[in-house]
Amino acid sequence: MANPFKNKIALVTGGTGSFGRAVIAPLLARGVREIRIFSRDELKQETMRIDMAEPRLKFIIGDVRSRESVDQATEGANFVFHAAALKQVPSCDFFPMQAVLTNIVGSNNVIESAIAHRVGRVICLSTDKAVYPINAMGMTKGLMEKLAQAGARNRRGDTLVACVRYGNVMHSRGSVIPLFIEQIRSKRPLTVTEPTMTRFLLALPEAIELVIHAFEHAEQGDIFIKKASACSIDVLIEALKALFRSEAPVNVIGMRHGEKIFETLATREEMRNAEDMGDYLRLRMDARDLNYSKYFTEGDRKEVSQDDYTSHNTTRLNVREVQKLLRSLPEVRAALRHPA
């Protein structure tokens, strides 16, 4: 297909976060004319402006909670990557209305603004926590997915709305790997909530590839998932201690508010209609209308025969395999080169 990015204007909400900073280079390499970095943190924007010194970046102060500021950022854009969100599980549980305002109301503002301004494509970033949610962060992200699919189903014009769903990104802000590395380097005990937990292992470049893949292949209301391996937290700790030659003790502190034992990226009901695309799964939107009466005689006869897709039943890595994966992360390599 022709390069869909060339000479186009991209808007990245939450653009000063881990995803926003990482998606810039791939978009510039694909020839975009302008990338609008939309966020409410002026210090992060100033730091990013100085560090990157890139004339094609345009920085816009605003908040997704304000439809007016979203409209100002959206006007003239060709596509939107919606990454703005409150993501910390405990803080969302303690202040759930704040999660509602950003993750639900803010997402609706972005989707509705994109449709109103005839933006070509909107890709919304979701999370495993939206599946069988047990915390406010996951519940609000699950509703963001429903808003995206409602926008896709009821769209006015040609705006395509789709989502990607992935677990925690390795070494991203607030993730456990940098915490463990800092504890190892400062010779403190490693604080672990529950060693038997499993988590998907996804590097940030893989998350970017997932979003680009969804952008290039999505149809209305799709949710794309990157297949990924996983490991338990105790295996991750063993791998890190081996890499850093540490004998640090482990202090099990108990599960935090809203934590899960394992991550689920797709339910068994979603897996019934999932399209296997090799490295990716496409979960299609249920496009049926509200005329339910006809389904009394014309039901869907597919059986629910598959399991959920989780970090417990995906490929599980051992200590040696996790060490190899950790060595591929530039942040870990930098920490190994410059031990404290």
Q: Identify whether 146 is a catalytic site residue.
A: no
Q: Of 87, 129, 141, 227, which one is the catalytic site residue?
A: 129
Determine the 3-state secondary structure of 118 from DSSP. Answer: coil
DSSP H or E run through 240 = helix 233-243
Q: Which of 126, 206, 200 is nearest to 165 (CA)?
A: 126
Which residues, at least 6 apart from 46, have a Cβ–Cβ distance to it below 8 Å? none
The angle formed by the CA atoms of residues 300, 306 and 307, to the nearest 5 degrees, is 130
| E strand segments, the chain | 9-13, 34-39, 57-61, 79-82, 121-127, 160-166, 190-192, 198-200, 223-226, 230-232, 250-252, 264-266, 275-276, 280-283, 309-310
CA-to-CA separations, 237 to 135, 203, 219, 332, in angstroms, rounded: 25, 17, 40, 14
Question: In this structure, what token pair is assigned to residue 46?
Answer: 């100033």
Question: What DSSP state is assigned to residue 171?
Answer: T
Determine the 3-state secondary structure of 245 from DSSP. Answer: coil
Q: Report, as residue numbers or ranges, the catalytic residues.
A: 129
